Amino acid sequence: MDRFEVMATFVSVARNGSFTRAASELGVSPAVTTKRVQQLEAHLKARVLDRTTRMLRLTSVGRSYFEFCNRILNEVHEQERDIARLQDDASGAIKVLSPMSFGIMQMGKILAGFMSTCPGIEVSLTVADSSRHVLDPIDFDADVAIRFSLKQSTPHITRRLGTLRWVTCASPHYIKKRGIPRRPEDLAHHPCLVTNTRFADGRWDFTGPDGPVGVRVTGPVTPSNAITMRYMVLDGAGIALLPNFAVADDLAEGRLVRVLPDYRVPDLPIAAIYPHRKLQPRKISLFLDYTAQVLRASPWHSLQ
Distance CA 21, CA 199 (A): 71
pLDDT at position 171, please? 96
Q: Topology of 166-258 in CATH?
A: D-Maltodextrin-Binding Protein; domain 2 (3.40.190)
Chain mean position to CA 65: 44
Longest CA–CA separation in the chain, Å: 105
25: Cβ–Cβ under 8 A, 6 or more apart, which residues?
12, 16
Quote the pLDDT of residue 276. Answer: 67
Strands 268-275 and 121-128: unpaired
Q: Tell me the per-residue pLDDT of 191-248, one tens digit each, with 9 for 90 and over.
A: 998 776 667 677 889 999 989 998 988 877 777 788 888 999 999 999 999 999 999 9
3-88 and 166-258, same CATH topology = no
Residues of the chain with pLDDT under 50: none
3-88 belongs to which CATH class? mainly alpha
Q: What is the pLDDT of residue 132?
A: 63
What's the burial of 49, exposed, middle or buried (CB within 10 Å: 0-12/13-18/19+)? buried
pLDDT at position 75: 81
pTM of the model as a whole: 0.66
Any idea where the domains of the chain sit in the sequence? Answer: 3-88, 92-162+268-302, 166-258
Distance CA 283, CA 304 (A): 33
- Supply the CATH classification number for the domain 92-162+268-302: 3.40.190.10
Q: Directed axis angle between helix 226-234 and helix 244-252, to 10°?
A: 20
